[in-house]
Amino acid sequence: MRTAGATPRIQGRQWPAGLVALGCLAVQIPGGVPATALALLVWLVTLLLADRTALRALWLPRFWLVSLLLASLSGLLLGQHDVRLGGLALSRTGLEAGLLMVLRGGFMFALASWASRRLREPGAQRLAECLGARSLGQAFAAAVDLLPELQRLFTADLASAGEKNARGRVRRLARAFSALFYHTASLAEQMSRPVDNVSRRSPLVRPRLVAVVGSPGSGKTTSLLALASSLRRRGITVGGVVQPAQYRQGRKTGYRLRDIASGEEIDFARRSSAAGEQGLPFRFDPAGWEWSRDRLRRQSRRARVLLVDELGLLEAGGGGHLQALLSLGAANRADVWLLAVRADCAEVLGRMLGGFDAMLQPGCDPEHVLRQIILADGGQAGNCAGRAKA
Amino acid sequence: MEAGIPTLAEPSGSGRRLSAFWTRAACFGALWGVGEVTLGAFLHALRLPFAGVLMAALAVIMLVAQRQLYRRRGLSLATGLVAALVKTLSPGGVILGPMAAILVEATLVELCLPAWPGSVVAAMAAGSLCSLWSAFQQLFTQYLLYGRNIIELYLAMLRRASGWLNLPAGAGWWVLGGVIALLVVVGTTSGWLGVRLGVVSRQRLQTPGAGESW
């Protein structure tokens, strides 16, 4: 897709022609017919010697027809009618003005044709770099490299816009345009992501989702807490809530909610004889959900890693911590969400959250997880290619 | 989108990584440039009246939406510069006019938005200016090509046409006013759509899983 292949080879160096162009431009500025005719003549001879392709580009019948028509109209409409030509009353001033318009139009068109060819040369990018706009030159090269990808997106988005009636077609086209814009923005985000994994994520990129998946009682919360300790030892700020279970005589009697950052705890759920939400044998305190939502919202602004425990049947049904997580939106600045997920709900929750980037077993080595998953390869594995579909 | 995403680590063999600013300018400049090279050339070939206004409206939507995502000064202008360079790949004849149009549109958006990047009014003003510019660019190009005589000729044609049609004096100005009002409506609509698109795209980019379906 580089420019070099798209343009015919240029004959010789073009800077003398550029100097002649400037001279001709200066000569015709006063606006008289002789000066403009001279400028046109000199420029046509220059093109004949320097760039015949640009000269050939002047063969554009529509342009010349329009110019002649304007010249004739000028003879008819401008000034006093003091000349008769074939029964038509014309104006000498108008005809002169028309001739000047044709000459000037021809000269400017020839100049634009030559300049357009110069702009197409690969040298345009080098010139931009020479002028100090090195980044612009590189950005142009990057834009050219992007064209096939954008063309693919464009084709895919438009292909999905097939509709029979006109109104529906317009609506689908608008949707395709939006999708194209969104894809370009996410492409820009992926490409501008910092190489340094430790630097902050752009606020426009979704966080990486790492799930610790296991059945009830398999040690998900313990794994999360071990990971949190390892992260803290490395100086990484951790926030979020965990939901440790309460046991009495070996029997689960309820849950408490613990704020990871402050260590604060509240009672959250108690075993109940009647089945509660989603058939669970626990009664959840509505104030607990509010407490959790508030903590998540506050800590997602400060922490690099956000922990959320016990995503299960409630969340799979659209309730529980899920709404709090989804409502974080723009406020969230955490790079990684570390989630404890019940194995039988992992598929549904993965779909709801757009896929997990990594899925771990409870009891996994925290140091290994930190090195290989949370801190490593924040670039490619983070948001696209490495996303493991649950 | 996963496969074959180009990397900007070494964009032109220089080994120097592009900044996030220029990366974004490159992506959106490529998008705009592709639109100009394909859709712009197609509309030009169809000789549709006000095709330039349509292209300008699309450009405004994209630029305004882009500024809702990234509130960086100069980004619209940088995007315009990249798009103008991409336009050089167009196989058509004279490209100076479209390139100038792209740069002027980018400059107008850049001038209107920095003070209030999220303001709908600023976006609408930018849209109106771009829309008006694209409509009068033809006249401006003709002025450059043929000199000031072309303006005198058009005014003489207007006077003569008014005389033939027995229109009251000043009727031409009313028609001109109507056209300008229509262009302003198109421009403000595109500015408003740009803000909407930017806000929706921002939400989708920030919400896990939401960007996958449209």
CB A9 within 8 A of CB A117: no
Query: Which of B22, B96, B145 is facing A135, going by the closest CB pair?
Result: B22
| A contact residues 7-36, partner B, Cβ 8 Å cutoff | 31
Kindly determine whether residue B27 and residue A136, on different chains, have CB atoms separated by under 8 Å: no
CA pseudo-torsion sign A310, A315, A320, A326: positive
Residue type, A68: L
Kindly determine whether residue B65 and residue A181, on different chains, have CB atoms separated by under 8 Å: yes
Q: What is the pLDDT of residues A235-259, one digit of tens each?
A: 778 888 988 888 887 787 888 898 8
Contacts of B80 (CB under 8 A, 6+ apart): B29, B32, B63, B102, B103, B105, B106, B107, B110
Per-residue confidence (pLDDT) for residue A386, from 0 to 100: 30
Q: Which of B23, B75, B202 to mutate to test the interface with A (most CBs of A within 10 A)?
A: B23
Kindly determine whether residue A104 and residue B145, on different chains, have CB atoms separated by under 8 Å: yes
Element at A351 (helix H, strand E): helix A346-352
Residues facing residue A284 across a β-bridge? A269
* Closest chain B residue to A95, measured at CA: B149
- Per CB-CB distance under 8 Å, the chain A contacts of B20 are 192, 202
| A contact residues 34-63, partner B, Cβ 8 Å cutoff | 57, 60
Kindly determine whether residue B2 and residue A384, on different chains, have CB atoms separated by under 8 Å: yes
Per-residue confidence (pLDDT) for residue A326, from 0 to 100: 78
| A contact residues 170-189, partner B, Cβ 8 Å cutoff | 175, 177-189
Please check whether residue B12 lies inside any domain of the structure: no
* Domain count within chain B: 1
Domain coverage including residue B167: 20-212
Tokens representing A379? 């670039």
Per-residue confidence (pLDDT) for residue A387, from 0 to 100: 32
Scored b (16 or more CB within 10 A) or e, B89-128 reads bbeeebbbbbbebbbbbbbbbbebbbeebeeeebbbbbbb
Q: Nearest CA to CA, how far is A36 from chain B (Å)? A: 11
Residue B166 dihedral angles phi and psi, to the nearest 5°: 55, 40
Per-residue confidence (pLDDT) for residue B59, from 0 to 100: 93
Please check whether residue B4 lies inside any domain of the structure: no
User: How many residues are recorded in chain B?
Assistant: 214
Q: What is the pLDDT of residues A15-26, one digit of tens each?
A: 788 888 888 888
Dist. CA B20–CA B154, nearest whole Å: 48
Kindly determine whether residue B144 and residue A108, on different chains, have CB atoms separated by under 8 Å: yes
Please check whether residue B200 lies inside any domain of the structure: yes
Tokens representing A323? 């709404």
Mean pLDDT of A152-156: 65
ipTM of the complex: 0.79
Local structure of A1: helix, strand or coil: coil
The reply to whether A69 touches chain B by the CB within 8 Å rule is: no
Residues facing residue A214 across a β-bridge? A342
Mean pLDDT of A197-223: 72
Q: Which of A114, A138, A153 to mutate to test the interface with B (most CBs of B within 10 A)?
A: A138
Tally of CB atoms within 10 A around B157: 17
Q: Quick one: pLDDT band at residue A133, thresholds 50, 70, 90?
A: low
**What are the distances in angstroms from CA A94 to CA A29, A203, A325?**
19, 64, 75
Per-residue confidence (pLDDT) for residue A126, from 0 to 100: 62
Q: How far is CA B94 from the centre of its chain?
A: 19
Among residues A247, A212, A208, the alpha carbon closest in space to that of A227 is found at A212
Query: Which of B5, B149, B156 is facing A190, going by the closest CB pair?
Result: B5
Please check whether residue B3 lies inside any domain of the structure: no
| A contact residues 311-330, partner B, Cβ 8 Å cutoff | 325-326, 329-330
Please check whether residue B186 lies inside any domain of the structure: yes
Please check whether residue B1 lies inside any domain of the structure: no
Q: Nearest CA to CA, how far is A332 from chain B (Å)? A: 8
Kindly determine whether residue A184 and residue B11, on different chains, have CB atoms separated by under 8 Å: no
Given 3.40.50.1100, 3.40.50.2300, 3.40.50.300, 3.40.190.10, which CATH number is that of A208-383?
3.40.50.300
Strands, E, within chain B: which ranges? none
Among residues A158, A175, A155, A140, the alpha carbon closest in space to that of B30 is found at A140
Q: Nearest CA to CA, how far is B18 from chain A (Å)? A: 7
Residue type, A28: Q
Kindly determine whether residue A143 and residue B210, on different chains, have CB atoms separated by under 8 Å: no
Kindly determine whether residue A329 and residue B206, on different chains, have CB atoms separated by under 8 Å: yes
Q: What is the pLDDT of residues A354-386, one digit of tens each?
A: 778 788 888 777 777 776 666 654 433 333 223
Dist. CA B207–CA A330, nearest whole Å: 8
Kindly determine whether residue A184 and residue B5, on different chains, have CB atoms separated by under 8 Å: no
Residue type, A70: L
Q: Nearest CA to CA, how far is A331 from chain B (Å)? A: 9
Residues facing residue A255 across a β-bridge? A245, A269
Q: What is the pLDDT of residues A269-327, one digit of tens each?
A: 888 776 666 667 788 888 888 888 888 888 887 788 889 988 888 888 878 888 788 77
Q: Which of A103, A177, A186, A191 to mutate to test the interface with B (most CBs of B within 10 A)?
A: A191
Kindly determine whether residue B1 and residue A203, on different chains, have CB atoms separated by under 8 Å: no
Query: Which of A105, A135, A150 is facing B34, going by the closest CB pair?
Result: A150
Per-residue pLDDT in tens (0 to 9) along chain B, 214 residues: 333 333 333 333 344 556 788 888 888 888 888 888 878 877 777 777 778 888 999 999 999 999 988 888 889 999 998 888 888 777 666 677 788 889 999 999 999 887 666 788 999 999 999 999 988 888 888 888 888 888 888 888 888 877 788 777 677 778 888 889 999 999 999 999 999 998 888 877 765 544 433 3
Which of the residue ranges A67-71, A147-151, A305-309, B180-184 would you say has the lowest mean pLDDT? A147-151
In this structure, what DSSP letter does residue B90 have?
-
Residue boundaries of the structural domains of chain A:
3-121, 127-191, 208-383
- Per CB-CB distance under 8 Å, the chain B contacts of A183 are 1
Among residues A324, A322, A354, A191, the alpha carbon closest in space to that of B213 is found at A354
Q: Nearest CA to CA, how far is A146 from chain B (Å)? A: 7
Tally of CB atoms within 10 A around A270: 15
| A contact residues 109-168, partner B, Cβ 8 Å cutoff | 109, 112-113, 115-116, 119-120, 124-125, 128, 133-147, 149-151, 153-154
